[in-house]
Chain A
Amino acid sequence: MLARWRKPGGGSAIPGVVVNRIAPGFLAATLNGFPLGLVIVTGSSGKSTATKMLVAVLRAHGLTVFTNQSTANISQGLTSALLERVGLSGRIAGDVAVLEMDEGHGAFIAGSLNPRVVALTNVMVDQIDRFHDSEMVAALLAKIATRATETVVLNADDRYLAELGSALEPTVRVARYGVTPAVLGQYPRGLGYAETTPNRLPTGIGLQLTRVVGRDAAVEFGTDGHSIRLPARGIHYAVDALTALCTAQATLGERFDPTVACASLSAMPAVFGRGEVVTVGGKTIEFVLVQNPSSFQLNVDSLEADTEQILVIIGSDVRDPSYFWPVDTSGLRHVLIASGLKAHDIALQLAYDNVQVDRIEPDVPTALDAFLALPDPASGVKTIIFSADGMRRTRAHLGLVSNAEES
């Protein structure tokens, strides 16, 4: 877990604790009280990006949105954030609340929160969760989904979510999104879900991703096609955009305008972390954050084939060197430097995957300086693939502003 940087104007969690003690109903009453209700985005992965995208789409429709910056200390953090926005009248201005939540937050919302819409991204099993089975993660998500009063938005390509949707009470509407067989076909290893459904959504049903090439994606609302320029390359970004669009449609109903929605996604700045492009000392570098084996595999598979300068930094956060071994890294082909506390371990894996590794340099600043000193590559951009710890060290060394969203 990364240290958290305080946002300008961000409150400390202490008032939240106090308010939760003296007025325990404050948080639930406030969150349930927005005119367009409460929207919850949850799932194993992608929820943070999907939430940011959803907020951007809703704001583009003229809504004032209350949202959380992090899923940590959710009760105290939200209370503090809400308190900052209480006006003199004692009311909070805003049309809708959009919250990102972890799978384990079901107990937090049960019995108190009544979300209008719950959006589910996927069931993946990450390092922390890999000794819990997928059924357990799915059960946690079901607990949150059953709180929805109007619509459950779900990824129809994820078998656990598809089954969860079929088991919901008929009083709740289910809005489905997914990719077409052609898009799935581009990823022979799948999209990282614990299990993928055998069939894709039928043509014309739900929201579909019909094409993704680099940062360009095409989606179809029923039969109405639109294109999006994604904030970064990668299928997971395109699927996060689907989650956001489908959830925005469920939240806005008749007011939803797909043209406005897709334009607002295309206008988003590069999202921090995965696939972020930065310029340091006149050199363009792409940052690729790998947080679990699924995201590592997807990032390897969606890397531009001609990327000739790659630095891999795996840090102390990867406690067990076995963690990334299920990933087939052979697609990287040639890595200039392996770095970080686990430099030797990742270099060992790369060697067995037939990836040429020119240098092993555990010291991150030394590796970064050597990597940046190289002339610009003839093809592709300088690409740094890092774990969260590698990212933190990289940003610190390069003097880049850190971001509170990552945890």
Chain B
Amino acid sequence: MTATSLQRPFTVVSLLPRLLDTNGDAGNARVLAQRIRWGGHDAQVVDVHCRADLPEQVDAVSIGSGTDAAILPARDALRTLVQELRVWSNSKVPVLAVGTGWELLSWGIDRADGTVIEGLGLVAGQAAPRAARATDDIIVASKYGRLIGFENHARDYIGAEASPLGRVLYGTGNGYRASGPLIEGLTMGEVFCTHLHGPVLARNPALADHLLRAAFTRHGLEYARGARAEFVDETAQAARNQVAARLGQPVE
């Protein structure tokens, strides 16, 4: 017997969208839900601010980036969800974490004044201050195609060398390395961490669809991109090409 759909809507959790949505990263949850709908399935986004908001079933998770003022309250709120986060990452629920949201999943955040904010310890590595904020377009070569986005961070990421999301073609990514090419992001199973902020999944639908395939596979279902998504993805490609052309990179 093969199922063709879930008996309930696919549920995408947006974690702490009030604290972690500086660049509209929380919109990545909406991107996943829309692509599921465009593929002909029911989907919902559930905003989770505390444990009481947690839905029974979770099919994908999005964590956005916040301001430095939000780091401590966001960390404390995420700590109350650490068990769930462990279960999700161990059971291959796709998780996207952007910027500060990623840093909070790490061992911790070293601050410029020498103090350390302890992270949740879910992924390897830690954030450490940079000399100057990295604010620019970023282009990354990855297994999920060439990713194009925007980065804006005052910290590097150390300790993701074993499993980066990709190699930096333009921009800063995880930042300074004594040797080897610049890398960007971190992956661990179906947990994806990146500095590409804002609508990274809308601009790079290949990565979105990888996450969706992971979500569907858990239920023995096959994900297929809908016709509407194909149309919208042409707009995304045009947006990416515009950046690539401006930065002297080949267009797709």
Contact = CB atoms under 8 A, between A and B. Distances in A.
Q: How large is the interface on B (under 10, 10 to 19, 20 to 34, 35 or more residues)?
A: 20 to 34
* Most chain B CB within a 10 A radius of its CB, from A323, A325, A352: A325
Interface residues of A, number: 24
Given A130-B67, A133-B67, A352-B34, A325 B235 contact: no
A321 B202 CA distance: 11
B150 interface: yes
A348 B203 contact: yes
B74 to A, nearest CB: 13
Interface string A115-157: 0000000000000001101110000000000000000000000
A134 B26 CA distance: 20
Nearest to A319: B150
B44 interface: no
A327 B30 CA distance: 12
B239 A348 contact: yes
Contacts of A131: 67-68, 133, 152, 154
Per DSSP, chain A at the interface is loop
Interface string B220-252: 000000000000100110110010000000000
A133 B68 contact: yes
A360 interface: yes
Interface string A325-354: 111000000000000010011011101111
A324 interface: yes
Contact of B23 (A134, A322, A353, A354): A322
B24 interface: yes
Contacts of B69: 133-135
Interface in B199-232: 199, 202-203, 232
B42 to A, nearest CB: 15
A320 interface: yes
A325 B67 contact: no
Interface string A293-327: 00000000000000000000000000011111111
Given A131-B67, A325-B199, A344 B22 contact: no
A319 to B, nearest CB: 8
Given A130-B67, A133-B69, A348-B232, A320 B198 contact: yes
* A-B pairs, 3 with minimum CB distance: A322-B198, A325-B24, A133-B69
Interface of B: 21-27, 30-31, 34, 67-69, 133, 150, 152, 154, 197-199, 202-203, 232, 235-236, 238-239, 242
17 contacts: A130-B22, A131-B133, A134-B69, A320-B198, A321-B150, A321-B203, A322-B24, A322-B150, A325-B25, A326-B21, A326-B27, A344-B235, A344-B236, A347-B235, A348-B199, A348-B203, A349-B199
